[in-house]
Each structure stands twice: as structure tokens, then as C-alpha cells.
Structure 1
Amino acid sequence: MQRLLERFGARELPATAQGRFQDVQQEVGESLDDWSDRVLTLATTAFRDLPYAYATEQTVTKFCHGLLDKEAGKHVNLQLPASMGDSMNMMKIYSHVQLACAADPMDSQKGKREESRCVHEVRKHLLQVR
């Protein structure tokens, strides 16, 4: 039975899985949910014999560093999220605030309204983080 397990039950070596984990990046067109699922799946294999806290830290870091939007990844990573769920929430808030602030004012009156909306979104985000 042991010989059969060694032959057919072979698992990927941790070093190989960790190498694949380190090389992964979000693909063009890949949603945030799919990207986080892929990172979590790879981390499960790569860090199966290591402490959960270490695996979580590595997973969150890879999620942020592997994002296509590098500025968003940097922003989220600097907030030191404790879990993948925290990272996802921070990323969604970041995206929302970016969209709210990206509106181009057509005239001076609208510009004032857009600026107020942007400031409002940033303040709302800061209050949620606290």
C-alpha cells in the first residue's frame, strides 16, 4: 500500500508549490474574486506544512503585489490587512473612492460638486477604517 501511495498519491513538493505561488500574477480580465480564489488555492498547497498565520500573511501580500493595478495593491498593502477578506474589502473601497474621485468637472459649479463628493467618499472611507 505504501508503494502505491508513493507512486500514485504523489503530492507537489512544497518548494515547487511555493515557487509557483511566488510567480503568479492577476491575469488581464480576471476578477478580484477569481484572483483571490486562485491565490488562496495556491497558498493552501504552498504553505500546507507551515503555521496558519504565516500562510495568511504571505497570501495577503501576494494578493496585493500580484494585482494588475499596482497602485491599488500598494495602497491596500500599506493598510496591513489581517486577512484576505480585509484585503478584498479594502480593495473594493479603494476602487469605489477612485471612481468617485475620477469624475471630470464640466464647469466650475459641477467641479465644486464633484470635489465635495470626492472629499465625502474619502471621509466615509476613513470613518469605516477606524
Structure 2
Amino acid sequence: MDNLASKGKVSKKPGDIKGKKSKQVSQKYTAARLHEKGVLLEIEDLQSSQFKNVIFEISPADEVGDFEVKAKFMGVQIETLILHYQDLLQLQYEGVAVMKLFDRATVNVNLLIFLLNKKFYEK
């Protein structure tokens, strides 16, 4: 996990000092966008036409391999949770295809891992 985190944080832009760490920014997605990507399958008690009003903000937490996920509905923060990357990998290893976030949102485990890898670990 430390190796993945250090790969993702090292800035490789031209002119940067070699090995200089850059702060990772949070990634914001509407539920509609995550649904398009196949990451989000459904949200209980919410029609897919309302997905544009839900925003998920994913940011690296203090611990390596942990992500803070915030859910907002129409700009109002509803819930926050800490997502453990290691737990996702364990679910993937066990062949679990879907999981619940916030006890309401059903997500595709493999595509969520892919998204986290692409946005936070692949630089």
C-alpha cells in the first residue's frame, strides 16, 4: 500500500523537483456519471433521473489506502464514510461483485477499484 501511495503522490510534471510530493485532490462525481461508468448500480429510494442531484466526493484519508467518501444531495452533505482499499481488494478476491455504500448505494466492486487506481494511484 505504501508503494502504491508513493507512486500516486510523486509529481512527474516537467520542471518539478524529482521526488517532490504533490497534494492529491479530491475527485467529485455525480451519481449519474458513476452510473454511466458502471460504478454505481443503484441508490435505494432514488430514481435514476435524480442521480444528477447526488455528488460523491472521494479524497485520500490520512492513512495510506483509506479514502474518505462524502455523499451530498442537492449540495447538502448527507453522509461521510471511510473506505478501506484493502477491504475492497478482499471483496474482489472473494469474488464479491457488488457492495453497499452508506447502506443505500450499490456499487460494482471491480469498477470502484479500477476508478480508485486510475485517479489516485496511476500517475
Q: TM-score, normalised by structure 2?
A: 0.29
More strand by share: 2
Q: Which has the higher contact order (CA 8 A, sep 6+)?
A: 2
More helix by share: 1
Q: TM-score, normalised by structure 1?
A: 0.28
